[in-house]
Structure 1
Amino acid sequence: MEKKPVTRKNIAELCGVSISVVSRALNNSGYVEESKRRKIIETAEKLNYIPQPVAMSLQERRTKQLLYYCKDLSNEYYVDMYRGMCEAANKRGYLVTISGMMEFDRIKDTMVDGIIMPNEDLTSYYMKHGGKNYYLPVVSASYCNAVDIPKSVPLVEADMYQAMDFALSYLNSMGHKVIAYGFPYDRNNRNSRFLAWKNYIKEITGNTGWKKYLLAMNQNEMKDDPRILPFSEDLPEQSIHIEEDFFGKGKLAAQVFMERKLNATAIICFNDEFAIGMIKGFQEMGVNVPEQISVMGIDGTGTRKYLSPSLTTVNMFPKKQGRECANVLIDIIEKKNKRYIVHLKPKLQIGESVKNLHT
């Protein structure tokens, strides 16, 4: 017969004390009379007591580890967020582990004190598929997208709708009026960046004319390219762990733009990586950026400065978003003031990829 593991209850019964006294003695936390402490430790050693870290994590939140659940480590924005999380967590005595391949039903048994999700879509999927019943607290990065999350989750929000407004206003100030949008998803995706651009372009092109200026990378337009995935509101199981090829989609979008022979003088892209892909795509076709077409991104990741011409973008401060995610989660773990929404303001970051049409 398999021998049962020794528990703190067993030690408490042998030492004639409560389980809480045993816990304080073994964790070296709180007052325990010295004679009782020595007896408890000696008994634990004699019985070869091995603590169960998972149980300790769930009951006492003592692992000092956070889980960053990120399926897309090719996305520089999410990597910058991780750097920010590590900085904040380290200052408060925590570590941040990272995983995007772990099945959701295994998270409840993981030796962590809480979870950080990189976006609202993944948060919604996680909460609908068991997360709302787990003990571990969750904090999510947010981008002002309309997503149904079945349980209240604190959000650290980068206002992407405002970021698109900043980009459009800047391009207008540089003389650009007809502005296309490079989008890596299907037009049915309710992304806040897309909605802000759509509201703008419809005033110029009308209720249906705007569609030709939307460079959406979806299966309807790119049926034979394996990098193009269908959009699903339910985030199907098979797409959970697939990394996005924003750079490749950007290069494809540049080809689509030239094939349509659009009269737009500028293009705003979904993110910096998509924009960099577009610029590279244009350059390979002999199209000069910004002399022949201006390109903007939205993100503010460090990769933009290595591009020639340097990318004009709207900085969403991903490292700051990561720091705030970690701090909000640690505050919850340590039972400090709980913040449900933290707003981050974007800032225009001017490079060389936009032409001034007034000169």
Structure 2
Amino acid sequence: MGKKPVTRKDIAELCEVSISVVSRALNNSGYVEESKRKKIIATAERLGYVPQPVAMSLQERRTKQILYYCKDLSNGYYIDMYRGMCQAANERGYLVTVNGVMAFECIKDTMVDGIIMPNENMTSYYMKKVGKNYYLPIVSASFCNVADIPKSVPLVEVDMYKAMEIALNYLNNMGHKIIAYGFPYDMNNPNSRYLAYKNYIKKVIGNSRWEKYVLAIHKNEMKNDPRIAPFSEDLPGHSMYQEEDFFGKGKVAAQIFMERKLDATAVICFNDEFAIGMIRGFQELGVKVPDQISVMGIDGTGIRKYLSPTLTTINMFPQKQGQECANILIDMIEKTNRRYMVHIKPKLQLGESVKNLRV
């Protein structure tokens, strides 16, 4: 049976002082006579006193832990964000825990100092459900999508409308005019990437024919199509915050592209995983990328480099977004240098999946 750990009460009794005096001496906070301070520190060292993190956190009302509430842990973008959070938090003496399973109501029972949300929709849901009644510092990643979020929630935002414009301009410069769009939601979804694409394709094709170029892999657009069945997020009663199989939907999008016999020479996809799924789908159908069809993603995740051909994409710098989220949250916790909005500029990242039609 191990020895009983030494407590501050033990030190106080040996030094004939109060526990509060021992705490001030060990924490180097508040006034303590120099002779008593030296005696307390010497006694603590002699007894082998080790501070208990949980007890200290309760006393200081700070755990040095922050929660990344993310349900979609299969999403490469969110994993890259997490890497950035861990790096920033570690540099400031904090740990980042990940959980997307517990109910929002249970967060108040966890020992964390603040929360990072992966997107605006999740943040809006949290604030409406429990956040307005339970104060805990919160920061959200943002992608310029419409969501009802209080102004008091700081955002680290990537302009997705601009990201789509950069992608379309690049494809135009490479000689691609008619461009399809691989999309995992229905055509009424107000996603900013989709809105930017829709504005482009309507100008190129006209208002009567543009919809067939949207490869919307969703139950509302694929009624009675058995290929939608494997996707749990499209089942009746599904929560919108479940993991999404973008790769699988990308493979289906490649099939639909070929079935529609589209004259598009390129496809811009919702994200990198969807694009990688499309490339795999085309390869399984015997269609060569980029020789016969060009495919482009939006994300800039690390997985793009393992693909053959490597994926051309728009880098949204997910690790940097994660770093900024963590730093802003820790600033809030420590009540220093509060910022309410940080913008990250998307940037073209070249790969091998787009063919230059001008040469």
Looking at structure 2, the residues matched to 284 and 237 of structure 1 have their Cα atoms a distance apart, in angstroms, of: 30
What secondary structure sits across from 2:180 in the alignment?
Answer: strand
Question: Gaps (5+ residues) in structure 2?
Answer: 1-8, 44-50
Structure 1 residue 88: deviation in Å? 0.5
> Scaled by the length of structure 2, what TM-score is found?
0.84
Looking at structure 2, the residues matched to 54 and 161 of structure 1 have their Cα atoms a distance apart, in angstroms, of: 48
Structure 1 residue 52: deviation in Å? 11
Partner of 1:156: 156
Structure 1 residue 56: deviation in Å? 5.1
Q: Give 1:182-197 correspondences, 5 Å limit.
A: 182-197=182-197
Structure 1 residue 158: deviation in Å? 1.1
**Is the Cα contact below 8 Å between 1:179 and 1:267 reproduced in 2?**
yes
Q: Give 1:41-60 correspondences, 5 Å limit.
A: 60=60
1:344 aligns with 2:348: no
Looking at structure 2, the residues matched to 52 and 302 of structure 1 have their Cα atoms a distance apart, in angstroms, of: 35
1:253 aligns with 2:253: yes
Looking at structure 2, the residues matched to 180 and 325 of structure 1 have their Cα atoms a distance apart, in angstroms, of: 33
Looking at structure 2, the residues matched to 140 and 28 of structure 1 have their Cα atoms a distance apart, in angstroms, of: 34
Partner of 1:355: 355
The letter for the 2-side match of 1:261 is: K
Give CA-to-partner distance per residue, 1:35-60, whole Å, 9 cap, x none: 69999xx9xxxxxxx99959956x84
The letter for the 1-side match of 2:130 is: G
**Is the Cα contact below 8 Å between 2:183 and 2:269 reproduced in 1?**
yes
Structure 1 residue 133: deviation in Å? 2.0
C-alpha change, 1:85 and 1:27, in structure 2 (3 Å) is farther
Structure 1 residue 239: deviation in Å? 3.9
Give CA-to-partner distance per residue, 1:249-305, whole Å, 9 cap, x none: 000000111111111110000111100000000000001111111000001111111
C-alpha change, 1:78 and 1:26, in structure 2 (3 Å) is farther
Give CA-to-partner distance per residue, 1:128-148, whole Å, 9 cap, x none: 101122221000001111111
1:226 aligns with 2:225: no
Looking at structure 1, the residues matched to 275 and 213 of structure 2 have their Cα atoms a distance apart, in angstroms, of: 15
Looking at structure 2, the residues matched to 297 and 338 of structure 1 have their Cα atoms a distance apart, in angstroms, of: 34
Aligned length: 331
Partner of 1:127: 127
The letter for the 1-side match of 2:233 is: L
Q: More displaced, 126-135 or 79-88?
A: 126-135
C-alpha change, 1:101 and 1:22, in structure 2 (3 Å) is farther
The letter for the 2-side match of 1:132 is: K
Structure 1 residue 106: deviation in Å? 0.7
Query: Percentage identity across aligned positions?
Result: 68
Question: Gaps (5+ residues) in structure 1?
Answer: 1-7, 43-49
Q: Give 1:70-109 correspondences, 5 Å limit.
A: 70-109=70-109
Give CA-to-partner distance per residue, 1:106-143, whole Å, 9 cap, x none: 11121011000011111111111011222210000011
Superposed CA RMSD in Å reads 2.9
Q: Give 1:302-317 correspondences, 5 Å limit.
A: 302-317=302-317
The letter for the 2-side match of 1:33 is: V
> Scaled by the length of structure 1, what TM-score is found?
0.84
Give CA-to-partner distance per residue, 1:61-86, whole Å, 9 cap, x none: 42111100010110011000000000
Looking at structure 2, the residues matched to 141 and 325 of structure 1 have their Cα atoms a distance apart, in angstroms, of: 7
Q: More displaced, 218-227 or 152-161?
A: 218-227
What secondary structure sits across from 1:67 in the alignment?
Answer: strand
Looking at structure 2, the residues matched to 54 and 244 of structure 1 have their Cα atoms a distance apart, in angstroms, of: 40
What secondary structure sits across from 1:152 in the alignment?
Answer: coil
Looking at structure 1, the residues matched to 53 and 95 of structure 2 have their Cα atoms a distance apart, in angstroms, of: 19
Looking at structure 2, the residues matched to 186 and 27 of structure 1 have their Cα atoms a distance apart, in angstroms, of: 60
The letter for the 2-side match of 1:214 is: V
Partner of 1:4: none
Q: Give 1:4-19 correspondences, 5 Å limit.
A: none
